[in-house]
Structure 1
């Protein structure tokens, strides 16, 4: 197996070190082919992991997976429509061997009577995508995100599953509420615009409403209504909620083609950059609120933007993986 394929496997099973993760991210930036390989192997891993039921099977599947991609990584196969429940048996034994060179891949799951075609959309680092769901709902998917939804929604319910971050403009349908499943919480809407962030690396799940009305619910708290311009954080540790009123433009600007800052505080710039680049920028409150800047972000890398910020303001930065630390020049 090639070194970078091994890094992808370690990244997917969460066993890579910070240095290996940084090496993998750098390798992904080299070419689109690298990103396509990562997407295909990620899709395969997510598909096979969803079908394996216990730790022993997962370990055996990982071993077979590593062996397979070392010998036939360039093969392309299609997932055929198979009668259930036979499909589950086939997946447990054979799906781990499928290499799908497409960000969109298909599974068939049993709803006891019918076959359901499940679509998964996966975006890698520095990728953003806009697409339309079967009900005409518009979705913007941010980097490092996976959205799962059926090819056709049920008549009385529309349901999707999210890992990562997405902004939704939901098509109104009072007869079929729209549900976003984000692990510990669920967001229920009829027709509105809102954002949900659910990254494994974060210790919270974020919901921000731009217009309309949504309710969030969980086994840990009663159903709660959110008003426009409200940001609600579900804190995974402690099962608590934190609510605040925000300028939603700062949190949803990543869906646009560019960011324009006109004498904006560093505190608000950081919110935008976090969403745009999928990072976590930390800066002391006194520096963030007392420093204002004006500049535009188009297709520049994060380091290019941070270096430019150093030129126009008395700050310095240190970039470590997904974390960026901003301090005052001359300070510790």
Structure 2
């Protein structure tokens, strides 16, 4: 493979060799890292004399930038949303050291190569959400405790992202370039539509809910299922078995709003919407006052804060179990 890398960097590789190199890079992260390391060494040494003092100075500058980057990352941890941009930061640091050599050697990666080299990753914290616009214009809402990974530039022929947790997508239509969402237990393919994906690790199944358009969902044993609007598919993480049910899809996207407002609504309706707002299961006895009417607004309050409030203003007790189930009983 070293010979093919050398040919590629010197612009002498054939199409077949480029394809083989690309496949090798995709196979393993260590292969990718080796290619990047080899490329950077080549850029720094090709037709340029580098002295030991130059290397020492570059290393000092590199360490200084890394320390600055680390300090920025540490400060961001205290914010509601944590953006994990290590991959992008690494590319920026490399470019800051080697910009001159890139220009001198006229080395520019193709779109597909850039996709492999540069990946963006955004992660949300326990009680935060985020909104992202992808390179193709697709809009994504990322729920709490979730992560999305996507390339700086989408590859030719398809748009692929990966998700852990929950995300809502408004996909920019492009019939020549299908949009794919990969998770650990299912893959979703669309052309242009609105849908919600939920595969939080704490759940026993992965779910996709379709608002409009059409999507194809593939489970972890290769079965492909087409969803229609207002349908939800639940796929077992254990054996890949699935079920499709009719739902009100708008319930599953309540969480993307800035606030949830109740104006003289019955407790039963409030609990129903809170279930989707917080992504939890709510279990209650029939003897609680479900017809009791309340007015309140939820913005960034945690579920613990809101259920504590309900205990103060209604005759109910709320117990949160395993962080994703709430049991409600009458006082």
Common fold by TM > 0.5 = yes
Do the aligned partners of residues 265 and 127 (structure 1) sit closer, same or farther apart at CA in structure 2, a change above 3 Å counting? same
Does the aligned pair in 1 maintain the 2:114–2:152 contact within 8 Å? no
Q: Which has the larger radius of gyration?
A: 2
Q: Which residue of 1 aligns with 2:219?
A: 218
Pairing of 1:172-321 with structure 2 (within 5 A): 172-262=173-263, 269-278=270-279, 280-284=280-284, 286=286, 290-291=290-291, 293-295=293-295, 296-320=297-321
Pairing of 1:1-332 with structure 2 (within 5 A): 51=29, 84=35, 86=37, 99=70, 101=73, 103-107=83-87, 114-116=113-115, 117-262=118-263, 269-278=270-279, 280-284=280-284, 286=286, 290-291=290-291, 293-295=293-295, 296-320=297-321, 322-330=323-331
**Stretch of structure 1 that moved more, 126-135 or 253-262:** 253-262
C-alpha separation in 2, matches of 1:122 and 1:204:
21
**Stretch of structure 1 that moved more, 286-295 or 186-195:** 286-295
Paired residue total: 249
Alpha-carbon deviation of 1:297? 1.3
Do the aligned partners of residues 196 and 151 (structure 1) sit closer, same or farther apart at CA in structure 2, a change above 3 Å counting? same
Q: Secondary structure at the residue paired with 1:261?
A: strand
Q: Which residue of 1 aligns with 2:60?
A: none
Do the aligned partners of residues 259 and 52 (structure 1) sit closer, same or farther apart at CA in structure 2, a change above 3 Å counting? farther
Do the aligned partners of residues 104 and 318 (structure 1) sit closer, same or farther apart at CA in structure 2, a change above 3 Å counting? same
C-alpha separation in 1, matches of 2:229 and 2:197:
14
Alpha-carbon deviation of 1:228? 0.6
C-alpha separation in 2, matches of 1:131 and 1:194:
15
Q: Secondary structure at the residue paired with 1:84?
A: helix
C-alpha separation in 2, matches of 1:140 and 1:167:
5
Does the aligned pair in 2 maintain the 1:291–1:313 contact within 8 Å? no
Deviations 1:63-115 (A, max 9, x none): xxxxxxxxxxxxxxxxxx98715379x9xxxxxx994716141438999x824
Structure 1 length as normaliser, TM-score? 0.64
Alpha-carbon deviation of 1:201? 1.3
Does the aligned pair in 1 maintain the 2:168–2:197 contact within 8 Å? yes
Do the aligned partners of residues 287 and 173 (structure 1) sit closer, same or farther apart at CA in structure 2, a change above 3 Å counting? farther
Does the aligned pair in 2 maintain the 1:293–1:313 contact within 8 Å? no
C-alpha separation in 1, matches of 2:147 and 2:261:
28
Alpha-carbon deviation of 1:239? 1.9
**Stretch of structure 1 that moved more, 233-242 or 321-330:** 321-330
Structure 2 length as normaliser, TM-score? 0.64
Runs of 4+ with >6 A deviation: 108-111
Q: Secondary structure at the residue paired with 1:202?
A: coil
Show structure 1 runs of 5+ residues with no match: 1-49, 54-80, 91-96
Does the aligned pair in 2 maintain the 1:129–1:141 contact within 8 Å? yes
C-alpha separation in 2, matches of 1:250 and 1:107:
35
Deviations 1:113-147 (A, max 9, x none): 82431110111111111110000000000111110
